Every structure is written in C-alpha cells, then in structure tokens.
C-alpha cells in the first residue's frame, strides 16, 4: 500500500536527481559513426609562430581548454567589437590557468609577428595565455572552417577581408564544445557560463 511518506520520498529522489545532474556541453560539428565508434569533428594539427616569436602547436593547448577567434589588426568593422568581448572573457577568467586563448589573424600580408606584438601591446595583452598568430594565404578558409568560422579575401569588404565574428570553445581533446557571436554581448554572457561548465567537466 502506498503511504504518503512513499510519495514524499519519491518526490525528493526525483527532484534531487534532476537538480544534481551536471549540465554538460554538447560536442559540436559533424560526427561519423562506424559500428560502435563515433568520430567527432576535431581541430586539425597546427604549427604557428605567436606574437612573442614562440612556436605553438596543438601541444601548447593540451590539458587546457581554449577560446579562439579570427580577426585582422586593421579591421574597422566587427573586430574591435569581438576583441572587446575576448578581453571580457580574458578578464572573467584572469586567474584560471586552464583557459588559453588563440586569435588567428587572416591578414596574411600585413599581420606579421611584430605587427601582432604591437597590437597586443596596445590592447594591454601580455603573458603566455593569449596567443596571436598569422595565417598563411592558403590556410584562411580551411582553418576558419575548422573553427566554424568563415574567412576570405574580398577587395570590396572594408579592410579587404570578410570574416565572421564567432568565438569558439575547444576542449582538451580538440573537440568544439560551444560558440557564440562575438559581436553580441548577451551571447557572450552565455558563452562565459559555458566556459565554466567545461572547466567543471575537465
């Protein structure tokens, strides 16, 4: 016979189960399934030289999570907005050493290491946690696509390049776990929370 106390206990068990289940970020991108194995979209191998003339590869980001964007230093339109949001993200996690940042410049002509270094200095960006790199001409579209972004040369676009303002979150296994529109502060608010969810997971 079901007594009221059974209902009360069941109610609490159900509710606490719902409340305690940790939210996990999805794994984004195309998956392929072969038999019992699922392969997820992964960030490919890369080698770059950053603004401090240090070589960085995927190894630099192993055991970390990182956020990434695409920009160029002379960009007049969306880049300043996205950079402001990247700075917000940096400040929100200033003491979190497990979070790194990677900004890709798509201006293969002008954004050399000294130019990137000067840009970082002007924005007060220093230290080993935020890497600025210059893509080569042939890499623009491929690498941008791997990070769910779009980037290409367009002489009719202001600055000469056209690109999207998405900011991407990558986990320690190179999987993309979240993204946001870097020109939308409210979307970035949500993204900043996603970063904490991923930090809790690793």
Q: Coil, strand or helix: which one is 51?
A: coil
Q: Which residues 6+ apart lie within 8 Å of 94 measured at CB? A: none
Residue 64: alpha-carbon gap to chain centroid: 12
Q: Assign residue 199 a region: left if phi > 0, alpha if psi is -120 to 50, beta otherwise?
A: alpha
- Least distance (Å) between residue 30 CB and another protein: 33
Q: Which is nearer to another protein, 88 or 129 (CB)?
A: 88
- Least distance (Å) between residue 81 CB and another protein: 5
Q: Which is nearer to another protein, 162 or 201 (CB)?
A: 162
Report the distance separating Cα 21 and Cα 40, nearest Å.
Answer: 24
Q: Which is nearer to another protein, 60 or 73 (CB)?
A: 73
- Least distance (Å) between residue 183 CB and another protein: 9
Q: Which is nearer to another protein, 82 or 143 (CB)?
A: 82
Q: Which is nearer to another protein, 167 or 169 (CB)?
A: 167
Q: Which residues 6+ apart lie within 8 Å of 63 measured at CB? A: 98, 172
- Least distance (Å) between residue 109 CB and another protein: 16
For residue 60, count other CB atoms closer than 10 A to its CB. Answer: 18
Q: Site residues (CB under 8 A) for another protein?
A: 74, 76-81, 83-84, 119, 121-124, 158
- Least distance (Å) between residue 19 CB and another protein: 38
**Closest by Cα among 59, 42, 61, 25 to 201:** 25
User: What is the chain's length?
Assistant: 202
- Least distance (Å) between residue 184 CB and another protein: 13
Q: Which is nearer to another protein, 42 or 78 (CB)?
A: 78
Residue 71 and residue 85 in contact, taking contact as beta carbons nearer than 8 Å: no
């Amino acid at each position: 016979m079901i007594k009221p106390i059974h209902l009360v206990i069941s109610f609490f068990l159900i509710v606490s189960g719902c409340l305690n289940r940790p939210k996990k970020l999805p794994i984004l991108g195309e998956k392929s399934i072969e038999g019992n194995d699922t392969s997820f979209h992964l960030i490919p191998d890369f080698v770059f030289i950053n603004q401090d003339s240090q070589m960085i590869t995927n190894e630099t980001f192993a055991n970390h999570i990182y956020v990434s964007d695409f920009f160029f230093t002379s960009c007049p339109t969306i880049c300043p907005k996205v950079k402001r949001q990247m700075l917000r993200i940096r400040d929100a996690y200033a003491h979190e050493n497990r979070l790194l940042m990677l900004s890709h410049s798509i201006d293969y002509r002008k954004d050399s290491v000294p130019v990137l270094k000067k840009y970082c200095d002007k924005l007060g960006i220093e230290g080993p946690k935020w890497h600025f790199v210059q893509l080569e001409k042939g890499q623009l579209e491929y690498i941008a696509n791997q990070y769910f972004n779009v980037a290409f040369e367009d002489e009719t676009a202001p600055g000469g390049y056209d690109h999207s303002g998405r900011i991407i979150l990558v986990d320690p296994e190179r999987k993309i776990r979240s993204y946001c529109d870097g020109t939308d502060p409210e979307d970035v608010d949500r993204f900043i929370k996603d970063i904490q969810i991923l930090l809790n997971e690793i």
